[in-house]
Amino acid sequence: MTDQSVINEYWLKESKDHTMRKKNKDIRERVINTAVKIFAKTGYFRTTMEDIAHAAHVAKGTLYLYFKDKESLYLATLEKHFDRAVTVLTEIETTERSAEEKMRCIAEQFINYMTGLKDAYPVFTFENLHTTGRIMKKMRPLVMPRIKQMTEIISRIVEEGIARGEFIDIEPRIAAFYFLSTIRTAFFGECFMSEIFSGSDAVMKMFFKGLKKKEVY
C-alpha cells in the first residue's frame, strides 16, 4: 500500500466517523426534544419509553443505545432546560436595557416557559414519591452548577442596577437568589392558584416595590 493510499484510507475513515458522530448527535437531540414534549403533555410517570420512541421515529432498541432508562432520559431533558436558561440569561444580560427591564424580561420568559412544561416535572405531583426522591437526588449534580451560573449572571445585572442608581445598595448575590426564588413562587402560583396568578407582573411588583406601604411626608 502506497503512502497516498494510506492517507486516502485515513481520511475516508475520518469522514465516515464524523458522519456517524453527527448522526448519533442528531438522533440524541431528536429524542431529547421529543421527550420534552411528551413529558410536558403526558407527565413523567404516565410516559413510557415506547411513547417516546414512537414519537421520535426510532426503534425502542435504538432509544436504549442512547439512554439506559426513562430516568436518564428525563435528566437529559432537565439538563437541556437549564442549559437553555443559562443561554437566555446571557443573551438578555447583553441587551441595551435597564437592569430592571432585564430582570422583568427574564421573569416573564422563565415563567411562561416553565408554566408550559409544568406537567413534565414529577416534583409537582403526589404520585410515586420514592421515585421522585431518587430523581431529585440525581438532579442535584446537574442542576446546581447551572443554578450557580444563573445566579452569577443575575448578580451582575443587579450590580449594574446598583451602579446606575436603579437599585438600593445590597449584596447582589442575595438579590439574585431572592429573584430566582420569586420566579419560582410565580411558577407555583400558576400551577396551584392560577385564578390569582397571571404572568409575572404581580410578583415582580412585589419584588421591586416590596409589601410595606411607603410613607408620604
| Domains observed in the chain | 1-67 (1.10.10.60), 70-211 (1.10.357.10)
The pLDDT score that the predictor gives to residue 194 is 67
**In the block, residue with C-alpha cell 404520585:** 127
The pLDDT score that the predictor gives to residue 209 is 83
pTM of the complete model: 0.74
- Cell digits of residue 75: 435528566
Instruction: Report which of 83, 105, 82, 117 is spatially closest to residue 187, judged by C-alpha positions.
Output: 117
The pLDDT score that the predictor gives to residue 195 is 67
Report CA dihedral (196, 176, 159, 88) to the nearest 10 degrees. Answer: -80
What is the rounded distance in angstroms from the CA atom of residue 130 to the CA atom of residue 153?
A: 34
- The model's pLDDT over 123-161, given as tens digits with 9 standing for 90+, comes to 555 445 566 777 888 888 888 999 999 999 999 999 999
What is the rounded distance in angstroms from the CA atom of residue 204 to the CA atom of residue 63?
A: 42
- Cell digits of residue 115: 408554566
The pLDDT score that the predictor gives to residue 60 is 92
The pLDDT score that the predictor gives to residue 18 is 46
The pLDDT score that the predictor gives to residue 206 is 82
Per-residue pLDDT of the chain (217 residues; tens, 9 = 90+): 565 564 556 455 555 444 555 566 789 999 999 998 888 888 888 899 999 999 999 999 999 999 999 999 999 988 888 898 899 999 999 999 999 999 999 998 888 777 776 666 665 554 455 667 778 888 888 889 999 999 999 999 999 999 999 999 999 999 999 999 888 877 777 666 766 666 677 778 888 888 777 666 5
